[in-house]
Amino acid sequence: MEAQLTQHDEETFDVLGKVKWFDPVKGFGFVIADEGGPDILLHANVLRNFGQSSVADGARIEVSAQRTERGIQATEVRRIEPPEAPSGAPLADFEDVDPEIMRSAPLEPARVKWFDKAKGFGFANVFGRSDDVFIHIEVLRRSGLADLQPGEALAIRVINGKRGQMATEVNAWEAAISPS
């Protein structure tokens, strides 16, 4: 993330910053620009156009934005990087798993069965398989997401872990069909 502010035309410009907060129930949140200035409105529709229904607080984000009568609003999400994991510590569920096994697991297209943010977990199914895949909220957060909706399409890395089939990474579903 090099340039802080890039002018596209008279109305649209790129902004680098951090997600201040995003509430999928309310359908919006705010981004704080690295350059400072007023908060930038991030609407759920703009995030959905990027292929996500939520974004974790503290995630690094690059958006195109424009000034409106109601303030600065994001018009397009260009990139999201997950927030930094606390001290890089592995999750307890994965402490006995070789990190290389987690990294080498293929990204697979999946659909959310259900996810309960208050409980801190949920399940998805990889396309073509009936087995439930456990998704922990911390995996979601470390992947740059805050919540999932039933039926939402994802790309996940899955390993056999302490809880059976477990997601180690969660991405927008386009990641499973895009060339790396």
Question: How confident is the model at residue 7, as a pLDDT?
Answer: 47
The first and second tokens of residue 58, run together, are: 């503290």
Closest CA to 19 of 27, 9, 11, 30: 30
Residues contacting residue 72 through CB under 8 Å, at least 6 positions apart = 15, 37, 38, 39, 40, 41, 65, 66
Question: How confident is the model at residue 173, as a pLDDT?
Answer: 75
The tens digit of pLDDT for each residue in 156-173 reads: 999 988 888 999 999 877
Closest CA to 158 of 104, 94, 110, 105: 105
What domains, with CATH codes, occur in the chain? Answer: 5-81 (2.40.50.140), 86-177 (2.40.50.140)
The secondary structure of 73-117 as a DSSP string is EEEEEEEEEPPPPGGGPPPGGGTTS-HHHHHHSPEEEEEEEEEET
Question: How confident is the model at residue 47, as a pLDDT?
Answer: 92
Residues contacting residue 43 through CB under 8 Å, at least 6 positions apart = 27, 28, 73, 74
Question: How confident is the model at residue 127, as a pLDDT?
Answer: 92
The first and second tokens of residue 109, run together, are: 């297209």
Question: How confident is the model at residue 1, as a pLDDT?
Answer: 41
Q: Per-block average pLDDT, block size 10, for the chain (180 residues)?
A: 46 94 92 95 94 89 94 94 68 80 90 93 94 92 88 92 89 66
Question: How confident is the model at residue 13, as a pLDDT?
Answer: 95
Question: How confident is the model at residue 66, as a pLDDT?
Answer: 96
